[in-house]
Amino acid sequence: MGKSIRLILAISLIFSVLLYASCTKEEMINEKVGSQLLTQVNLRKAQIANPTSDRLEMMQNMGMRVDNLEIHRIFIHLSQELNTSQIDELESMGIILYIDSWIPPVGAHPTGFLIADMPLDKLEELADKDYVVKLDTAERKLEPQKGIQPQS
């Protein structure tokens, strides 16, 4: 390999490392956290800090549970089922896991998921776990899609 090609590869490698290092932890975590979950967590925090009836009504209209504002129900997306040490780790953070809700990866879906109740202050720590692929809200109002009639 010529010297110029090796130099270009070395510069590319250095640039890649610097670019990765310049990403803030918040940016890397936000890649894992669904935007609706982030919005809902921020709504909960705002409601705790400064309660308003309008915000509370908006939260209810979105399908959010308002009986305990400190806890949010989420989907934890994983590439494989949690092992015992991972379960222990998450439970020690105060996360309530509904292990029986585990749906494994199938077909074109590369991740499985399970339902959990997460204390608001654990979002960043949970998103930082290597084995967590993505976090989404499990609190949303679902509407029938156009053309699909509800069964009676």
In a domain, 56, yes or no: yes
DSSP structure string for 74-124: EEEEESS---HHHHHHHHHTTPEEEEEEEE--BTTB--EEEEEEEEGGGHH
Report yes or no on 130 lying in a domain: yes
In which domain, by residue range, is 89 found? 25-137
Asked if the structure places residue 101 within a domain, the reply is yes
Q: Is residue 54 situated within a structural domain? A: yes
The identity of residue 34, as a single letter, is G
C-alpha to C-alpha distance for 24 and 111, rounded to whole angstroms: 25
User: How many domains are contained in the chain?
Assistant: 1
Average pLDDT over residues 12-27: 50
pLDDT band at 143 (very low <50, low <70, confident <90, very high): confident
**Does 3 reside within a domain?**
no
Residue 8 pLDDT level (bands cut at 50, 70, 90): low
Classify residue 57: in a domain, yes or no.
yes
State pLDDT tens for residues 72-123: 999 999 999 999 999 999 999 999 999 999 999 998 889 999 999 999 999 9
- Kindly report the backbone phi and psi dihedral angles of residue 105, in degrees, each rounded to the nearest multiple of 5, phi listed first: -60, 135
pLDDT of residue 144: 74
pLDDT at 42: 95
Q: What is the mean pLDDT of residues 28-39?
A: 86
Is 46 contained in some domain?
A: yes
